[in-house]
Amino acid sequence: MRIKKVLASVMAACLSVQLLSACGKEETRISDKIHVGVTYYNQSDTFLNQLLDSFREQLKALDQEDLETTVTIRDAAGSQRTQNDQVKELIDAGCNVLCVNLVDRADPSEIIDLARENDVPIIFFNREPVAEDLLQWERLYYVGAHAEQSGVMQGELAAEAVLSDETTDRNGDGKIQYVVLEGEAGHQDAIIRTENAVDTLKNSGVELEKLSYQIANWNRAQAQNRMEQLIGQYQDQIELVLANNDDMALGAIDAYKKTDYTESSLPLFLGIDGTDVGLQAVLSSEMWGTVYNDEEGQAEAMAKLAVAVISGEGMEDLSFENEKYIYLPYSRITRDNVEDFL
């Protein structure tokens, strides 16, 4: 008798679970319209423009019979206030998931409040909010890469170049005179990349002498300008240029091109990103190497996550750290393997 009762209740429980999941399925179908609203800090950023081009493609690729996707992209033009307004506007226009590349990564509260009030999840990307902010609400995520890893890899590439070719030490004093072109102050990728690149070089046994650090805000023209000043100041003493991204490495190369440099007076240039222009510079040997900041992988993770947070399907295919973070690995690029990335 008791056994029968237990069996009956187990069967009832199974049935209701089945019913529930069937309902759940119905419900996801209905909301399988993914309207993504994107806002990013500045439309002049080479890396982000490439990342967002990939994102559009990746999202399109997920478009299927019962899944409709749209994307609207806004440029915050360097103003956090503008970005806050854009978020409001995107939500009002019916976006049901947001991808936000913060202008000020320390100031996401207003955006988070707006999203929470309207129950619109946010995928932050590339400019990482501080950990406490991501804990403000459970529907907040981040997609990016570990800055430290890119710095280490840049240092490894530089060490390899220096140790394999003694002419890099042009004045033969046993030390490598270097300058750093740094990204925006306060960006998670700027200082961490520099520190790790320099430490890795030192740990590889390369004697270093720092000539100067200059901030050029990820920007090619600013980097050219800073580099022109540095060339004026240090003449042919600079043996190595470590740039926090490809655009700044290219700006430095532009500066040398404006002087009547000889091939043998050029320093070694290293970037990070592997943007199209960066890869071309590695291919033509103008830049010794770069570190691939996997824009395609990041774009793919963002697209899949956007679909998953709305449809409830596919979360298990994504690899999270601490449940909210997706970090894509970097890779080293030199003349030897650049073709694999083109």
Residue 142 contacts ligand BGC per CB under 6 A: no
Q: CB of 100 within 8 A of CB of 108?
A: yes
Find the distance separating the first CA and the last CA of the chain, reported in whole Å: 72
Instruction: Please give the DSSP secondary-structure letter assigned to residue 169.
Output: S
Q: Residues 218-237 vs ligand BGC: string with x where CB under 6 A?
A: x-------------------
Rank residues 51 and 307 by Cβ distance to ligand BGC and give the closer one: 51
Nearest to 162 by CA among 215, 121, 209, 117: 209
Rank residues 142 and 218 by Cβ distance to ligand BGC and give the closer one: 218
The whole-angstrom separation of Cα 114 and Cα 83 is: 12
Pairing of the two strands 331-334 and 289-292:
antiparallel
Min separation Cβ 170 and ligand BGC, Å: 28
Quick one: tokens of 238?
């600079």
With CB under 6 A as the contact rule, which of the stretches 3-11, 44-52, 307-315, 328-336 interacts with ligand BGC? 44-52
Q: Residues 82-101 vs ligand BGC: string with x where CB under 6 A?
A: --------------------
With CB under 6 A as the contact rule, which of the stretches 31-39, 41-49, 162-170, 230-238 interacts with ligand BGC? 41-49
Min separation Cβ 48 and ligand BGC, Å: 6
Give CA angle at 132 (190, 310), nearest 5°: 95
Quick one: tokens of 93?
């226009």
Residue 182 contacts ligand BGC per CB under 6 A: no
Instruction: Please give the DSSP secondary-structure letter assigned to residue 339.
Output: G
From Ca ion, ligand BGC, none, interface partner of 169 (C-beta below 5 to 8 A by class):
Ca ion
The contact set with Ca ion (CB under 5 A) reads: 169, 171, 173, 175
Rank residues 120 and 145 by Cβ distance to ligand BGC and give the closer one: 145
Which helix (H) or strand (E) segment holds residue 283: the answer is helix 276-283
Q: Counting Cβ atoms within 10 Å, is residue 20 exposed (0-12), middle (13-18) or buried (19+)? A: exposed
Residue 39 contacts ligand BGC per CB under 6 A: no
Min separation Cβ 237 and Ca ion, Å: 8
Member of 34, 35, 47, 332 binding ligand BGC (CB under 6 A) = 47
Min separation Cβ 250 and ligand BGC, Å: 11
Quick one: tokens of 96?
């049901």
Residue 189 contacts ligand BGC per CB under 6 A: yes
Which DSSP string corresponds to 42-80? -TT-HHHHHHHHHHHHHHHHH-BTTBEEEEEEEE-TT-H
Quick one: tokens of 118?
């309207």
Residue 241 contacts ligand BGC per CB under 6 A: no
Rank residues 134 and 176 by Cβ distance to Ca ion and give the closer one: 176
Member of 154, 177, 293, 311 binding ligand BGC (CB under 6 A) = 293
Q: Which residue, chain included where needed, has tokens 């990013």?
A: 40
Task: By CB under 6 A, name the binding residues for ligand BGC.
Answer: 45, 47-48, 126-127, 187, 189, 218, 245, 272-273, 293
